Amino acid sequence: MKYVLLGNLSPEWASKQSERIGKAKAKLDKLGIKIESIHYTQGYYDFIDIVEAPNSEAMLAFSVWYSTHGLGRIQTMPAFDAKTFETAIKHAAG
C-alpha cells in the first residue's frame, strides 16, 4: 500500500538533515517501508514523502517513532491508484 506523508521538521532537527534522514531511513528499512520519493516544500508542510508500506501498522509504528524521537510530526494518508478508485466508484454505485 502506498502512503503520502506530510511532515513538519522539529526546530532541533531542521539543521541536522543528514543525521535525521539517516535515522529515519534506518527505521523505515527495519519496518519494511520503501521510500519512493521525497519532496521539500514551502508552506504548511516542510516535506512530502511517497512511501510503500507492507501494512498500516508499519506506517503507524513509523509515525509514532518519528514523533517520539523528536524529529517532527507526520500526517499519514493512504494513497490509492486510479484503478482502485474506479473500482470503488463502481461498488458505490451498485
Task: Say whether pLDDT at 32 is over 80.
Answer: yes
Residues contacting 54, CB < 8 A, separation 6+: 1, 31, 32, 33
d(CA 77, CA 72) in angstroms, rounded, equals: 17
Length of the chain: 94
d(CA 53, CA 35) in angstroms, rounded, equals: 9
Over residues 40-62, the mean pLDDT reads: 96
Give domain 2-93's CATH superfamily.
Answer: Ribosomal protein S6/Translation elongation factor EF1B (3.30.70.60)
- Residue 15's pLDDT band (cuts 50, 70, 90): confident
- Residue 94's pLDDT band (cuts 50, 70, 90): confident
Over residues 32-60, the mean pLDDT reads: 97
